[in-house]
Amino acid sequence: MDTREALGSWIDGPKAAAEKMGADFGYRGERLGLPQEGPGSIGGPGRRMGALFVDGWLVALVSFGLIGKGTAASANMWTTPLFFTVTVLLLATTGTTVGKRLFGLRVVRLDGGRATIPQVLLRTVLLCLLVPALVWDRDTRGLHDKAVGTVEVRI
């Protein structure tokens, strides 16, 4: 085996090269004991980004229309704190936000129970920093979820 086969081509990537050599990575969530499809399976990255977009858009709309009274400068100042507050309140009480509900997602602990308030607080702080949400593992769980022991699953 030469170096190119070990590293994989730039198109296929190292995961494809490892799979060609016989490595079995399984499906997303298999390491966590979650089902492959249906309720309780890991929500895909498209669903999660769509839910985040909807939540951010709704918060920006409320911030612009109600709090900022139509001025963008004032609304921008309130968007992130309002996003943090709404996300924490909704995740702590229902386990889902408006965007997550529209996309059929829910945040749960790894054992399947409801996330605790400290978990929700730390997860949302890390989500507001945005960088942890952009770093994923092979199950496509964000670093903010890994740090607090939660996962976004399909409803």
Q: What share of the chain is helix, strand, coil (3-state, %, to 5)?
A: 55, 10, 35
Q: Tell me the pLDDT tens digit for each residue of 54-84.
A: 999 999 999 999 888 888 888 889 999 999 9
pTM: 0.82
Q: Pick 133 or 47 by higher pLDDT.
A: 47
pLDDT > 80? residue 113? yes
The DSSP secondary structure of 101-138, one letter per residue, reads HHTTEEEEETTSSBPPHHHHHHHHHHHHH-HHHH-B-T
Closest CA to 45 of 124, 120, 4, 103: 103
pLDDT > 80? residue 29? yes
pLDDT at position 121 is: 97
